Structure 1
């Protein structure tokens, strides 16, 4: 058994390999002048644990090439951040349900699939071989012992925040969000008692940061002493991180499902536990 590190998840792959006590496979990745990708994986015989988050189209194509390079082995696909999971249904005639297509593609190669906090139960339903790891206890544990209030930016993430707060041992609540378009949201304040308190906004994904920016404004208006935010998947498209800091967010932390400078929490232990249970 060897761990194969895709280019999007080298550090997490190394951490998982260390937890499992196995080697990293030797890999070579290149890009040809015309933009085509090249992949070589050496020394994999019986079982390959492929670790690659999908945070871009390049990540997805490279993942497929890695699968093909180790096609003679049993493949366990560890995809900590499952891109395309937010496209989990068709709203208009003729639209692709993108995560359904991606699920079929991945499972045509992989014997098992492990991901972390896939965006929705609907997205999860398109997989037949999926184990979804919950990182909210890790986020909660990170704040254990601190006097904070955890806030969900909308009702949809309330259950996630409820889990995190139970591990942090703190209070929780949510804001009401109305999405105006793909990049803009309006946050309507509830009757939250955050005056003079340190608040942590908790969500599964921070992409453009628009939701967190608006939530921070509301919480500041309600008298919050400070606002931090924590997420599982730090997509942080464009200058999202600057937007958050400019809005007054004191600190941003995330897991290493997408490897960023703010990845303060590792999901390696939780993924290794699943791999060891199934071995």
Structure 2
């Protein structure tokens, strides 16, 4: 297998190379003066299973080169072309809320489905979709972060109280809590804008002797977590831990959060907060999908 890493996540790429007994694919990339991209594959792809690792947390900057690379690998004789994207972009817009809005998750899924043979990701934002199969026409595997987060909590936090910031998080946070053997609470959130969020208070009677652990799938503006953390501080609770699967940290979100909590994320998006490893389950998912291809 050859693993190509066009978006520079060297740590995760090195782990996948080792776990999958793969070689690093050689790429040449540059931009012409007019801004267009130049791409050349230096590795021999003929009859090879090729895998692209591409974190799509800034999709508009990465998508075009990703599609060029997938097409080039296929044109150079690759036996299969798969995509590992720990953060799958354009999943939030899953409904037309106002007339004329683009339901971006659907055309994005069509683009990736047309370019790849299979897809591996971590905890995509499935709200109104029950599975990726509703919009993706290629085989996919979703690596669940809950067991990884639960293991991390068990190893580091003696008496945690897990807190979900809103009703959407209940099923997810309850799963982490069950695996970690810890109690949990789910708060109520009201969002009035991208940076205007109010959150209800947790039941403080259950929280007094425990370390609050806020868990969410995406930390973007951080407003939801900050609102909750400020409530916890005002109530005199111990310093909290904030855990995110996908740490986007728009603007100054990370600095604001670290002032009031210890912050940890999975390695889905490269960031100094990464503490929870994802490489092994990603590699397992790739093996499963390739084995299914062999059977067919």
TM range (shorter): over 0.9
**Aligned-partner Cα distance in 1 for 2:29–2:229:** 41
The number of residues matched between the two structures is: 277
**In the superposition, relative to structure 1, how do residues 224 and 62 fare at CA in structure 2: closer, same or farther (>3 Å)?**
farther
Larger CA deviation: 106-115 vs 145-154? 145-154
Query: 2:186 is matched with which residue?
Result: 174
Aligned partner (choices 215, 222, 236) of residue 223 of structure 1: 236
TM alignment of 1:66-105, pairs within 5 A = 66-72=69-75, 73=78, 74-105=80-111
Secondary structure of 1:143's aligned partner: helix
SS of aligned partner of 2:128 = helix
Alignment of 1:245 onto 2:258: yes
Is the aligned partner of 1:122 residue 2:155?
Answer: no
SS at match of 1:200: strand
* Equivalent-residue separation in structure 2 for 1:118 and 1:256 (angstroms): 14
Q: 1: distance between equivalents of 2:178 and 2:15?
A: 27
The ranges of structure 1 where at least 4 consecutive aligned residues each deviate by more than 6 angstroms after the TM superposition are none
TM-score, structure 1 as length reference: 0.94
User: Does the 8 Å contact 1:230/1:254 carry over to 2?
Assistant: yes
Are the aligned partners of 2:266 and 2:276 in contact in 1 as well (CA < 8 Å)?
A: yes
In terms of mean alpha carbon deviation, does 107-116 or 6-15 score higher? 6-15
Question: Residues 182-202 of structure 1, C-alpha deviation per residue, up to 9 Å, x if partnerless?
Answer: 221111224342124211100
Which residue in 2 is equivalent to 1:23? 23
Residue 258 (structure 2) pairs with residue 256 (structure 1): no
Q: Is the 8 A contact 1:9 1:257 kept in 2?
A: no
Larger Rg belongs to: 2
Residue 274 of structure 1 corresponds to 285
Gap regions ≥5 residues in structure 1: none
State the alpha-carbon separation in 2 of the partners of residues 111 and 266 from structure 1: 25
Q: Deviations over 1:31-74 (max 9, x none)?
A: 33333233222222222111101111112222112212212321
Aligned counterpart in structure 2 of residue 55 of structure 1, from 57, 61, 78? 57
User: 2 CA distance for matches of 1:38 and 1:165?
Assistant: 47
Output the aligned Cα RMSD.
1.6
**Secondary structure in 1 matching 2:135:** coil
What residue is the counterpart of 1:7 in the other structure? 7
- 1:221-246 deviations in whole A, cap 9, x for unaligned? 33321111111111111211012123
**Aligned equivalent of 2:142:** 132
Q: Secondary structure at the match of 1:127?
A: coil
Partner of 2:200: 188
Question: Could you tell me how far apart the structure 2 residues matched to 1:10 and 1:31 are?
Answer: 21
Distance 1:264 1:41 in 2: 33
1:3–1:25 contact (8 Å) kept in structure 2: yes
Distance 1:88 1:188 in 2: 26
Structure 2: which 5+ runs fail to align?
A: 292-296
